[in-house]
Amino acid sequence: MKIHHTTAATLLSLSAAALFIPASVGAQTPIFYNRFDNNGFAALFAMTQGGDVQLNTGLNEAHLPAVSRDGRFVAVTAADDRRPGQLSQDVYLLDLVAGGTRKIIDNNDLFDQRTQASTTWRPADKAFSPDGRALAVCLSIQSTGGVSVGPDGLLTTNGVGTVPQLMVYGVADGQPLASIYIGQQRDGSLSELMGVDWLPNTGEVITPVAVGVQQQGTGAPANTTAIVALAPITDAGAQGRVRKITNPGAYSRSDLFNSTLENGYENDLYPASSPSGRKIAFFRSVERFYSSPGFNGRLLAQVSLRTINSDGTGEQVLWNFNEGQFPTGVSWSADGNRLIIGMGTQQVAGGIPLQGITPATGQLLMIPSGGGDLVPVGVQGSVSPMWAPANATGSQTGGTGGNTGPNTNNAGGANFGGNSNGSNGSTSPSSSSPSSMPVMELTLKPGTRSFVLRAAGASADASKQFLLQSSTDLKNWTTSLTVSGAMANNGITVSNGGGQAYYRLVAQ
């Protein structure tokens, strides 16, 4: 684990049961995100002012985090550990208050003996409703026999293909509440249901949906993907209402001799509502197809980061990225002043650019929501950021304290370059170094307000002495006692009766 500070203090690698302390530290809340390990599994991390903490979900993987507006729950996608041969994935809730992880959506493989078709469900992006009672989930439904709409509004097998579906489930019991959108069969050129959020002021769900446009240059009909607002699921009279927010286009260009042709299609993706619901951040990816005597195929995407008022006015370009950079998500800070985004190098398979990135190139970056410079944060290999809301109950983490926000770090790797509002962009990274301290685990003692701190894997040097310090604000630290590395390995029982929220070990 790479810790973004320069002192010898360590972060605590916490179990889920320990995550019950409000984390609005200095007007900042944790940023949840994924980081991939060497085996390609996505672990769940929280970035705080003290550094990065890996959260113990009890799962082998925990993809695409979504945080409830009260900060209590983090929803993730993971394979079912009890059925390792199953391709369908499930949705789990990590409870940051009571602790523990529970499955709320259980998707099963479906095999149709008649058609010999196999269907799998892959939940991807998710978003909690403003009241926290519902979860919108973007499903990718893949079938060797294809999919079609059944009489119950769900998808059933039919022909070969992959179709996106937007479902809403109850958080308490995981029961489906509504199927509010079924997209077109994917052909790799549209970005339908890549990202979802709720507008807190209207209760509408926002997501990318295919829309028809007229291609500039030829006047021919074409499909692009726009951010739309879907009617609240509780409003029975407005079911099916769609309000288009963004207006992507399409174009066709050729040279004077019509020997070279480029077709471009603007697809909007990863919408994120501001805390007030008045603005939406999103990406626009221009998918380009090129034909010439020497080349015929799909070009790398050209992506820009934008904001727009939720009524469809006031669109603003914040950053134009270098060709071949692709997003993994965007989220607003609790005060609405900044955006955290995920970017990486666009994945290419068989010479065809895909709508995703090579995980190892993932990088989180921060930018003012009104425009400005991009600043890298965290470490390379990080994707899918989600900033916790202002009233979030967040991770109880140790750290050095005294910082005013998540630490920035130039992780190297992909060159995101580009420009902000037509100007040359620059970054202002600060250096960081990993801590040499042992990673600590925290476990609650059942039925008490006490917990046990223990060096993970008995990794503390038994011959060294450490100071156990505590804090209520991550700024002022009090030394509780001196402990040996052996004590840290065996476990230190701590009473939380004094109201201390954060703990760390410092080398003596």
For the segment 468-507, what is each residue's pLDDT rounded down to a tens digit?
777 654 456 778 788 888 887 787 777 654 445 456 667 7
pLDDT beyond 70 at 375? yes
* Greatest mean pLDDT among 281-285, 289-293, 413-417: 281-285
- In the predicted structure, residue 407 carries a pLDDT above the cut 70: no
- Average pLDDT taken over every residue of the chain: 75
State the pLDDT at residue 182. 80
What percent of the residues of the chain are helix, what percent strand, and what percent coil, each to the nearest 5?
Answer: 5, 50, 45
pLDDT in tens, 302-353: 999 999 999 999 999 999 999 999 999 999 998 899 999 999 999 988 888 8
Identity (one letter) of the amino acid at 448? T
pLDDT band at 85 (very low <50, low <70, confident <90, very high): confident
The better pLDDT of the pair 32, 298 is held by 32
| Alpha-carbon gap, residue 137 to 197, rounded angstroms | 10
- The closest alpha carbon to 47, from 69, 32, 67, 36, belongs to 32
The confidence band for 25, taking pLDDT boundaries of 50, 70 and 90, is: very low
Which tokens go with 439? 């990673």
Confidence at residue 287, expressed as pLDDT on a 0 to 100 scale: 86
pLDDT at 327: 97
- Chain centroid to Cα 205, Å, comes to 17
Q: Is the dihedral of CA 175, 179, 185, 187 positive or negative?
A: negative
More confident residue, 179 or 139: 139
Q: What does DSSP assign to residue 15?
A: B
- For 251-260, the pLDDT digits (tens) are 888 765 656 6
Average of per-residue pLDDT across 149-177: 71
The DSSP symbol for 59 reads: S
Give the rounded percent of residues in the chain with a pLDDT score beyond 70.
68
Query: What count of other Cβ atoms lies within 10 Å of the Cβ of residue 187?
Result: 9
- pLDDT tier at 294, thresholds 50, 70, 90: low
Q: What angle do CA 210, 215, 219 make, to 5 degrees?
A: 130
pLDDT at 136: 95
pLDDT at 126: 96
3-state secondary structure of 210: strand
**Which range, 175-179, 418-422, 496-500, has the best average confidence (pLDDT)?**
175-179
pLDDT at 177: 87
Q: What is the pLDDT of residue 40?
A: 76
Counted residue by residue, the chain has a size of 508
Higher pLDDT, 404 or 217: 217
Query: Reading across the β-sheet that carries 117-128, which strands appear in turn?
Result: 110-112, 117-128, 134-143, 161-170, 176-182
34 versus 457: the higher-pLDDT residue is 34
Q: How far is CA 410 from CA 122, 190, 322, 344, 404, in A?
A: 33, 32, 18, 14, 18
| pLDDT above 60 for 446 | no
- 22 or 289: which leads in pLDDT: 289
Letter string b/e over residues 273-306, b meaning 16 or more CB atoms within 10 A of that residue's CB: bbbebebbbbbbbbbbeeeeeeeeebbbbbbbbb
Q: Is the pLDDT of residue 44 over 80?
A: yes
Residue 502's SS3 state is: strand
pLDDT over threshold 60, residue 15: no
CA distance 50 to 7: 11
pLDDT of residue 218: 81
Residue 96 three-state SS: coil
216-235 pLDDT per residue, tens: 888 888 888 999 999 766 55
Distances (CA, A) of 478 to 119, 122, 442, 451, 482: 57, 47, 19, 18, 12
Overall average pLDDT of the 185-210 stretch: 86
Distances 195 to 184, 226, 249, 281 between C-alpha atoms, Å: 16, 12, 19, 11
Higher pLDDT residue, 27 or 198?
A: 198
- Residue scoring higher pLDDT (72 or 308): 308
Query: Would you give the distance in Å from CA 471 to the centre of its chain?
Result: 30
pLDDT range class, residue 457, cuts 50, 70, 90: low
Q: Which residues contact 491 (CB under 8 A, 6 or more apart)?
A: 452, 453, 454
Percent residues over pLDDT 90 in the chain: 33
Question: Which residues in 325-361 are b (16+ Cβ under 10 Å) and which e?
Answer: bbbbbbbbbbeeebbbbbbbbbbeeeeebebebbbeb
Q: What pLDDT is recorded for position 430?
A: 29
Task: Kindly state the tokens that stand for 242.
Answer: 């769609």
pLDDT at residue 201 in the model = 86
- Average pLDDT over every residue of 116-126: 84
- Mean pLDDT value of segment 446-474: 66
154/168: higher pLDDT: 168
Q: Which residue has the higher pLDDT, 126 or 122?
A: 126
DSSP structure string for 217-258? TT--EEEEEEEEEEPPTT-GGGTT-EEE-----EEEEE-TTS
pLDDT of residue 154 exceeding 60: no
The two beta strands, 12-14 and 440-444, are parallel
